[in-house]
Amino acid sequence: MSLPIDMDAVVIGGGIVGASAALFLAKSGQRVALLERDFFGAHSSGVNYGGVRRQGRPLSQLPLSQRAHAIWGDLTNLIGIDGEYLRSGHLKLARSDKDMAALAAYEQASRGFGLDLQLLDRDQLRARFPWAGDVAVGASLCADDGHANPRIVSPAFAHAARRAGADIYEQTEVSEVSHDGHAFTVRTASGQTFRAPWLLNCAGAWAAALAEQFGEPVPMRSGHPAMLVTEPLPMFMDVSTGVEGGGIYARQVARGNCVLGGGQGFALDPATARPGQAAILDILRNAVELYPPLAGAQAIRTWSGTEGYLPDREPVLGASSTQAGLLHGFGFAGSGFQIGPAAGEALAQIVCTGTPSIRLDAFSIQRFQPVSQPTLPTAPPATAAPAHAENVIPLFRGRSQP
């Protein structure tokens, strides 16, 4: 066992949330270690559909999502690559008058958040997007939403964190966490030990284990959206699309391939998911009526990933209610790629200033605690606790079932 490495903050999980937090912490001059069990972006953050959209989110998420929109707008400066990020527009299609009414209600409710949604009736939709299938009766367009390549964006956040001064580690599974009343001791399966007054739990679908060990159980389950990509096709679609009521989403990349998602796959084990034949067939069946140019297209690859979902489909983001210095950022319910950089920034702000610039009350972990707990100060204590104050938290096993 090596000597402990002292840090200001340790981040568990090198997805887009943890890597963004590490980046913003390092840019603020904090000594931060980013610990990833597998590879940066190996899970949800690197295998997702690539939708970078605000449209359709719960209103509670829109302030944070708007902040994320600004961060995405400066992506190249921030992480050093453009990540194939395009502000192509996000088009949400309606298949019935009822769905169109739901899009209109959302447009009304989200006014004032800066989404600038445009409702398109059947004729307007066809005039602007002639590829749309007959089943689409209209749509809502968010012209400044878009898409990006998650496979390159998410690891780039971790590498940008390294350039900003963070210590970043792959294939480094956190196996044990303890707190002695003053600081966290974080041990890894590979034998390293870190000490820090701040610990950020950004372990994605596996984050509930750590929360539970600190007395904050959450009813998180895993989900596995099914994905496929087609062979390259002639360009026909320049927007990222979704459908009111869900079921399918699709985008076409510059090389001509169409990326499609919809439905749920299944888990092979807690860290490995597959899309499953049924979900893939459903996507292919639904796709052609909404996107007729896809008729006869070959799917050349299918995949899935593992993401954490809480019952209200809101993330847990902010301070622990039981342990000063512990911050949570997980449970982004299939839509954390867009909002992840702002979530990471908010966690970094708590470390640096005590308060995030955007209120996170809706995402508090306390909403899952049966009895209200006294509110703890967020920040860790400034002075060392007496030696007898050792409070060892049980082992945090990174691969425990979410």
Ligand X SMILES: Cc1cc2nc3c(=O)[nH]c(=O)nc-3n(C[C@H](O)[C@H](O)[C@H](O)COP(=O)(O)OP(=O)(O)OC[C@H]3O[C@@H](n4cnc5c(N)ncnc54)[C@H](O)[C@@H]3O)c2cc1C
- Cβ nearer to ligand X, comparing 14 with 197: 14
- Cβ nearer to ligand X, comparing 15 with 293: 15
- Cβ nearer to ligand X, comparing 73 with 381: 73
The single residue among 242, 263, 305, 380 that binds ligand X, judged by CB under 6 A, is 305
Q: How far is the CB of 88 from ligand X (least distance, A)?
A: 13
Pairing type for strands 5-6 and 90-94 reads unpaired
Q: Between 218 and 257, how does the x/- string for binding to ligand X read (CB under 6 A)?
A: -------x-x------------------------------
Q: Which part of the chain contacts ligand X (CB under 6 A), choosing from 30-38, 62-70, 111-119, 318-326? A: 30-38
- Cβ nearer to ligand X, comparing 164 with 317: 317
Here the contacts of 354-360 (C-beta below 8 Å, separation 24 or greater) are: 354/378, 354/379, 356/318, 357/67, 358/63, 358/64, 358/67, 359/63, 360/64, 360/317, 360/318
Q: Which part of the chain contacts ligand X (CB under 6 A), choosing from 96-104, 316-324, 328-336, 360-368? A: 328-336
When asked if residue 49 is in the footprint of ligand X (CB under 6 A), the reply is yes
The single residue among 56, 293, 340, 341 that binds ligand X, judged by CB under 6 A, is 340
The residue behind tokens 């340790």 is 10
The single residue among 157, 194, 206, 291 that binds ligand X, judged by CB under 6 A, is 206
When asked if residue 402 is in the footprint of ligand X (CB under 6 A), the reply is no
Q: SS3 of 344, please? A: helix
The span from the CA of 101 to the CA of 136, in Å, is: 13
Q: Which of 277, 264, 273, 331 is nearest to 306 (CA)?
A: 273
- Cβ nearer to ligand X, comparing 56 with 325: 56
- Cβ nearer to ligand X, comparing 198 with 206: 206
When asked if residue 16 is in the footprint of ligand X (CB under 6 A), the reply is yes
When asked if residue 43 is in the footprint of ligand X (CB under 6 A), the reply is yes
Residue 305 near residue 176 (C-beta atoms within 8 A): no
Q: Which of 155, 218, 158 is nearest to 11 (CA)?
A: 158
- Cβ nearer to ligand X, comparing 37 with 95: 37
Q: Between 154 and 193, how does the x/- string for binding to ligand X read (CB under 6 A)?
A: -------------------xx-------------------
Q: How far is the CB of 64 from ligand X (least distance, A)?
A: 12
Cα four-point dihedral sign 222, 159, 64, 369: positive
The single residue among 138, 341, 398, 402 that binds ligand X, judged by CB under 6 A, is 398
When asked if residue 50 is in the footprint of ligand X (CB under 6 A), the reply is yes
The single residue among 44, 65, 222, 321 that binds ligand X, judged by CB under 6 A, is 44
DSSP 136-197: --EEEEETT-EE--HHHHHHHHHHHHHHTT-EEESS--EEEEEE-SS-EEEEETTS-EEEES
When asked if residue 347 is in the footprint of ligand X (CB under 6 A), the reply is no
> Partners of 51 in the beta sheet?
147
Give Cα 59 distance to the centre of its chain. Answer: 17
- Cβ nearer to ligand X, comparing 144 with 307: 307
The single residue among 262, 334, 341, 380 that binds ligand X, judged by CB under 6 A, is 334
When asked if residue 47 is in the footprint of ligand X (CB under 6 A), the reply is yes
The 10 Å CB-count burial string (b at 16+, else e) for 110-120 is beebebebebb
Q: What are phi and psi of 139, to 5 degrees?
A: -165, 170
The 10 Å CB-count burial string (b at 16+, else e) for 205-237 is bbbbbbbebbebebebebbbbbbbbbeebeeeb
Q: How far is the CB of 125 from ligand X (least distance, A)?
A: 22
Q: How far is the CB of 319 from ligand X (least distance, A)?
A: 17
When asked if residue 204 is in the footprint of ligand X (CB under 6 A), the reply is yes
- Retrieve residue 149's tokens: 């390549």
The residue behind tokens 């204590």 is 381
Q: With 0-12 CB in 10 A as exposed, 13-18 as middle and 19+ as buried, what is 77? A: exposed
Q: Which residues bind ligand X (CB under 6 A)?
A: 12-18, 35-38, 42-45, 47-51, 173-174, 202-206, 225, 227, 261, 304-305, 307, 330, 332, 334-338, 340, 398
